Chains A and B, each alone.
Chain A
Amino acid sequence: MAPFTIDLRELKFTLFEQIEIQRLLEHEPFRELARDDLDMILDEACKLAREVFAPAGVAGDREGCTFEGGKVRVPPSYHEPFRRYCEAQWLALNHSPEWGGQGAPRCLRTAVDDMFFGANIGLNLGMLLTPGAAHLIEAFGDEALKQIYLRRMYSGEWGGTMCLTEPHAGSDVGSVSTKAIREGDQFRLEGEKIFITYGDHDLTENIVHCVLARIEGAPKGTKGLSLFAVPKYRVEADGSLGAFNNVVCTNIEHKLGIHGSPTCTLNFGGSGPCLGALIGGEHQGMPAMFQLMNDARLAVGLQGVALANAAYQAALGYARERLQGPDVERFKDPEAPRVPIVRHPDIRLSLMRQKAYAEGCRALVLYTAYCMDVARCAPTVEEREEHAALVELLTPICKAYGSDMGFRVTEWALQTFGGYGYLRDYPAEQLLRDCKIASIYEGTNGIQAMDLVARKLPARGGANMLAVYKRVKAFIEAQREHVALGPAVAALEQATATWSEVNRALATAAMRKDWLMPLLHASPYLALCGDLLVSFMLLQQAEVAWRRLVALCAAAGVDPLDGAALRRLATSDDEVRFYDGKVKTARFFCASELPRLHARAAAITGADRSALEIVFNGE
């Protein structure tokens, strides 16, 4: 199998040349870090991902998880990478130094996770959940809980999970029926959770579950939910492990993908008392979850992005090597040499789309993570609020569009391999299988779309939307006359105008109290926003790239507007190739993909209700 490839050059370009995350280092709490440190951290993560995570990613898919004699085991090949990852302190890269974290920006963590997810999503899911659960305790737990759990979780000594889902409470979290019964200053938990990622495993000696449950007598719906820290083994006063806490895994699921990640059914308190401690206030479970929801959703969008990039790299590698058919210009000549398929126009178009979506969505996710950091560390309230507004709007788009387009990219990549793509011998099929889950968990993409139109768009009097609009508009104003990107910028301008029209149509429907129209069109609306934002990201990249390209061409004595000369230079010079590739990708996207946005808009504003009105067979 072809080795896993990371385009670190691309990742660093997006971080340092497009988004300029180094600007964060001027502010607390990041002043201790220098640009060099960020580079070293990325280089080191890249090595670990490629050399240690990736081999176990393939092996783990084959080995899968096992459930025997009540014990869950992760793939044997996961143990060594897990140990090395924790030893090098990656688990809490962006968490607070007070509890053993490294205090790096969220966007750096995102870039690092891009590589780890791409290399081995099954294992890296565990690496995501443990600090996620610890962060909940850090943000809302009392001092005693923090003392017991945080250091052990941030170091990877103990694992962590998020337990929301129950058989009758999936998207509808408000239906959670797990009970919490007061017992002294603790609570006794009773109920069953399903689909719990890393709910049980043999990587750590203890696991801390963050469980949503209803205290006896609490109101129905989400308002009556509280959050509990429930360990697998109780913890004694001196910190040592005590008795089994009656959290019993009764089953693991057999799934389409992420075979290395155990998906567990957990029974709480069925075999004896199961004690948990309240995290935060009574009935404050959902507000707590909401605060950290953006974090988790962004991480799931990132999974789509990471696998898309891995798939694109694999497809590109294959297309360069696979010989099939003659060059189109000599298609009638049986003597013509067979060429690598990367020379065929249809393959080129597919590779270009893969590249555009993989890199465009990556930029969007990294930018959103950057906004999270700015919302936390910018010196002025206005800046912090404005970036918080951006995060609100962008997060559901990153989650749903990132995972949907990520999956599409893995599909196109598989197609590039032809019949070999369908085989286990090549990486494409696993990437496709592994990617699918991202559109489902952490709030299905349908739920994300509803969140966008019903909550995020109208919230703060439209300020979320305006914060995005302002940035796109400023870019258009500044670049309208661009020598190389003019028509692409014009396409973005048209798209932005259409977006505004759709926003008006949605607002009008809401004013008329026609709630069904926005909800019916929520998913296409989210996709429309995604198209717009990806074109914006790609154009921002192209604008930076063009400046660099002009300088490189000047040094080489080449006119950057002379296509043939530029192509020659790009073939021999990696940097020229890279920047020219960025310019061409943005142009391609604006010319060939962005027009679809207008069709989507027409479908939304057309407000056809047939799908609501039809009576389905047997309904």
Chain B
Amino acid sequence: MKILVTAKRVPDPEQKVKIKDGALDLSGANFIVNPFDEYAVEAALRLTEKVEGATTRCGEVTVLGIGPKDMSQQLRSCLAMGADRALLVEGSDEGLDSEQVARVIVAVYQRERPDLLLLGKQTVDGESNQVAQLVAGYLGLPQACFACTIEASADGKSVVVGREVDGGTETKRLPLPAVVTVDLRSVLPQSVRNQQTPATHAYPEGPRYASLKGIMASKKKPLDSLDLATLGVTATPRLKLLSLEAPPQRQAGVKVESVDALIDKLRHEAKVI
């Protein structure tokens, strides 16, 4: 199975966000691979590897990133996990909206023709949760978003996806090619399997850690750059950032003397009742 996985770089959520002149200041930011995309890479690897004994793969994983040149570092970490090659479409971090990202992915899909397009369900910076849905729509492909389980069929022509929905999971069979986004539970020990994964096989929970050999091997794996012109993408953003400000500092609370005083404040100051 040939899989194309997307990976965005996002500022490390553990760092303080800096805002300067009405925009995010990412100058000192430490970037990581968007966690949901990391889960997608993990799912792709599980779908394409023979886990016990054999060293050969049963498929190929290509990671696609859109961002500035030095994003190659995050792509390399995906290669170190085990992906086979990476593509970097050069662009900036800011100012790309879901529409443009989706158009780029569509263009790359058409060049690469993978059997499966795997994405994280959303990024942890923008949290738009729109890209996969747009891509599937533009390409006219079946989609299953928020996957918690994925299983490849024996003939390699479809996947069965368990989707997180309110109150349970919904199971869908998708003919390939298809678009799937993964949710948190896709990295549980037995949630993703290919035709050859033994029924008893359990992965360690979470996206895998790179081995030292993986890190060194990642230097030798192909990492190709593409630009928007070559891809023929001309989409303009549909979103405009009007302003950006940090949430106001929380004020210290006050103690009220009585229930009446509380109700009065809720009614007249907070205006919530």
Question: A507 to chain B: which residues have CB within 8 Å?
Answer: none
A89 to B80, CA, bound (A): 13
B212-A88 in contact (CB<8A): yes
Tell which of B73, B209, B219 touches A88, judged by Cβ atoms closer than 8 Å: B209
The answer to whether A575 and B28 touch (CB under 8 A), given A36-B76, A37-B219, A40-B80, is yes
Decide if B243 is an interface residue (CB 8 Å cutoff).
Answer: no
Tell which of A36, A48, A87 touches B73, judged by Cβ atoms closer than 8 Å: A36
A40 to B219, CA, bound (A): 11
The answer to whether A574 and B15 touch (CB under 8 A), given A40-B80, A80-B204, is yes
A87, closest chain B residue (CB): B211
A571 to B258, CA, bound (A): 38
Per-residue contact bits, chain B 173-196, to A (CB 8 Å; 1 contact, 0 not): 000000000000000000000000
A44-B210 in contact (CB<8A): yes
Question: B211 to chain A: which residues have CB within 8 Å?
Answer: 87-89
A462 to B209, CA, bound (A): 47
Question: B214 to chain A: which residues have CB within 8 Å?
Answer: 88
Question: A87 to chain B: which residues have CB within 8 Å?
Answer: 211
Question: A80 to chain B: which residues have CB within 8 Å?
Answer: 204
A93 to B16, CA, bound (A): 33
Tell which of B18, B73, B212 touches A41, judged by Cβ atoms closer than 8 Å: B212
Decide if A47 is an interface residue (CB 8 Å cutoff).
Answer: yes
Decide if A102 is an interface residue (CB 8 Å cutoff).
Answer: yes
A89-B213 in contact (CB<8A): yes
Q: Restricting to B211-230, which residues have a CB under 8 Å from any CB of A?
A: 211-216, 218-219
Query: Number of contacting residues on B, CB 8 A?
Result: 21
Query: Number of contacting residues on A, CB 8 A?
Result: 26
Decide if A337 is an interface residue (CB 8 Å cutoff).
Answer: yes
B213-A48 in contact (CB<8A): no
A80 to B76, CA, bound (A): 26
A102-B18 in contact (CB<8A): no
Tell which of B15, B80, B212, B218 touches A93, judged by Cβ atoms closer than 8 Å: B212
Decide if B54 is an interface residue (CB 8 Å cutoff).
Answer: no
B212-A102 in contact (CB<8A): yes
Pick the most buried of A41, A84, A88: most chain B CB atoms within 10 A of its CB.
A88
Question: B212 to chain A: which residues have CB within 8 Å?
Answer: 41, 88-90, 93, 102
A581: shortest Cβ distance to chain B, in Å? Answer: 14
Per-residue contact bits, chain A 328-362, to B (CB 8 Å; 1 contact, 0 not): 00000000010000000000000000000000000
B216-A102 in contact (CB<8A): yes
B104: shortest Cβ distance to chain A, in Å? Answer: 25
Decide if A572 is an interface residue (CB 8 Å cutoff).
Answer: yes
Question: B80 to chain A: which residues have CB within 8 Å?
Answer: 40, 44
A84-B16 in contact (CB<8A): no
A89 to B212, CA, bound (A): 6
B232: shortest Cβ distance to chain A, in Å? Answer: 32
Main secondary structure of the interface of A (DSSP, over half): helix
B265: shortest Cβ distance to chain A, in Å? Answer: 19
Tell which of A37, A51, A52, A337 touches B215, judged by Cβ atoms closer than 8 Å: A37
A40-B15 in contact (CB<8A): no
Decide if A573 is an interface residue (CB 8 Å cutoff).
Answer: yes
A201: shortest Cβ distance to chain B, in Å? Answer: 22
Decide if B206 is an interface residue (CB 8 Å cutoff).
Answer: yes
A159 to B77, CA, bound (A): 30
A40-B76 in contact (CB<8A): yes
A84 to B203, CA, bound (A): 11
A89 to B213, CA, bound (A): 7
Question: A572 to chain B: which residues have CB within 8 Å?
Answer: 16, 18
A463: shortest Cβ distance to chain B, in Å? Answer: 37
A573-B210 in contact (CB<8A): no
A87 to B252, CA, bound (A): 51
Per-residue contact bits, chain B 106-125, to A (CB 8 Å; 1 contact, 0 not): 00000000000000000000
A93 to B213, CA, bound (A): 10
B25, closest chain A residue (CB): A573
Per-residue contact bits, chain A 24-60, to B (CB 8 Å; 1 contact, 0 not): 0000000010101101110110011001100000000
B15, closest chain A residue (CB): A574
Question: A37 to chain B: which residues have CB within 8 Å?
Answer: 215-216, 219
A600 to B76, CA, bound (A): 52
Question: A41 to chain B: which residues have CB within 8 Å?
Answer: 212, 215
B204-A84 in contact (CB<8A): yes
Per-residue contact bits, chain A 91-117, to B (CB 8 Å; 1 contact, 0 not): 001000000001000000000000000
Question: A40 to chain B: which residues have CB within 8 Å?
Answer: 73, 76-77, 80, 210, 215, 218
A88-B204 in contact (CB<8A): no
Per-residue contact bits, chain A 368-382, to B (CB 8 Å; 1 contact, 0 not): 000000000000000
A3 to B204, CA, bound (A): 20
A572 to B17, CA, bound (A): 9
A575 to B15, CA, bound (A): 10
A93 to B215, CA, bound (A): 12
B255, closest chain A residue (CB): A335
B229: shortest Cβ distance to chain A, in Å? Answer: 28
Pick the most buried of A36, A93, A575: most chain B CB atoms within 10 A of its CB.
A36
Tell which of A39, A48, A337 touches B209, judged by Cβ atoms closer than 8 Å: A48
A104, closest chain B residue (CB): B212
B35: shortest Cβ distance to chain A, in Å? Answer: 12
A540 to B215, CA, bound (A): 32
A48 to B213, CA, bound (A): 15
Question: B77 to chain A: which residues have CB within 8 Å?
Answer: 40, 43
A573-B18 in contact (CB<8A): yes
A41 to B77, CA, bound (A): 10
Question: B213 to chain A: which residues have CB within 8 Å?
Answer: 89, 102
Tell which of B28, B73, B216 touches A574, judged by Cβ atoms closer than 8 Å: B28
B19: shortest Cβ distance to chain A, in Å? Answer: 9
Question: B18 to chain A: which residues have CB within 8 Å?
Answer: 572-573
A205 to B80, CA, bound (A): 30
A89, closest chain B residue (CB): B212
The 5 closest A-B pairs by CB, nearest first: A88-B211, A89-B212, A575-B28, A102-B212, A40-B215
Sample of 15 more A-B contacts, CB < 8 Å, known A44-B210, A51-B206, A80-B204 = A36-B76, A40-B76, A40-B77, A40-B215, A43-B77, A44-B215, A48-B209, A88-B212, A88-B214, A89-B212, A93-B212, A572-B18, A573-B18, A573-B28, A574-B15
Where the two chains meet, the residues of A that have a C-beta atom closer than 8 Å to any C-beta of B are 32, 34, 36-37, 39-41, 43-44, 47-48, 51-52, 80, 84, 87-90, 93, 102, 337, 572-575
Give me 28 A-to-B residue pairs in the complex whose CB atoms sit less than 8 angstroms apart, sorted by A's number: A34-B219, A36-B73, A36-B76, A37-B215, A37-B216, A37-B219, A40-B73, A40-B77, A40-B80, A40-B215, A40-B218, A41-B212, A41-B215, A43-B77, A44-B209, A44-B210, A44-B215, A52-B209, A80-B204, A87-B211, A88-B212, A89-B212, A89-B213, A90-B212, A337-B252, A572-B16, A573-B18, A574-B28
